Amino acid sequence: MLIGIFSDTHDNLPQIKKAIAEFKRRNVQAVLHAGDIVAPFTAKEIAKIDVPLHIVYGNNDGEKTGLRQVLPQIESGPILIHLGDCAIAMAHDFEQIPTKFRAQAGVLVAGHTHQAFVKSENGKLMINPGECGGWLKGRSTIAILGTDSLQAEIIDLPL
């Protein structure tokens, strides 16, 4: 199963559209968003994703009621998601993922730092898709996870 992962979209609609187009091109079967959508008008674009969508709030998601009206599946996080045979713990920041979720999950997903990486640590695959918005680092990135292989890649989107 292929899973699209993005985070820190920060209201950048053109980059969100590029991310969604890349997820469709790669035929992902689910999408994870690790927080910082920011405004409900942006959530309307994300709501167009036509596969299962799992989302947590980020520290810049101030309009929680408005976001929940558009994306009723959004959660405070951290959350534990089971996709195929893969258990994934997700929060906006890795520090928010509790020990009990880390023990159950093979994959940990978070954003917040805007630093894209994929690494193995303590037997867990850790994925930070970086910032899709591209505002802070001048780089717009997403990630694709293959749950069967437990491998992930960071993909740069043109700005």
Domain ranges within the chain, ordered by starting residue = 2-157
What pLDDT does 64 receive? 96
> What's the whole-model pTM score?
0.97
What pLDDT sits at residue 84?
86
- The DSSP letter of residue 107 is E
Q: How many CB atoms lie within 10 A of CB 41?
A: 13
Reported as type and span, the H/E element at residue 99 is helix 99-104
Of the candidate CATH numbers 3.60.21.10, 3.40.50.1110, 3.40.47.10, 3.40.50.300, the domain formed by 2-157 belongs to 3.60.21.10
What is the rounded CA–CA span in Å between residue 104 and residue 87? 7
pLDDT at 77: 94
Q: What residue type is assigned to position 91 of the chain? A: A
DSSP lists the bridge partners of residue 6 as 33
- pLDDT value at residue 145: 98
Structure tokens at 67: 């976001």
Q: Which 8-state DSSP code applies to residue 8?
A: -
Q: Give the chain's residues under pLDDT 70.
A: none
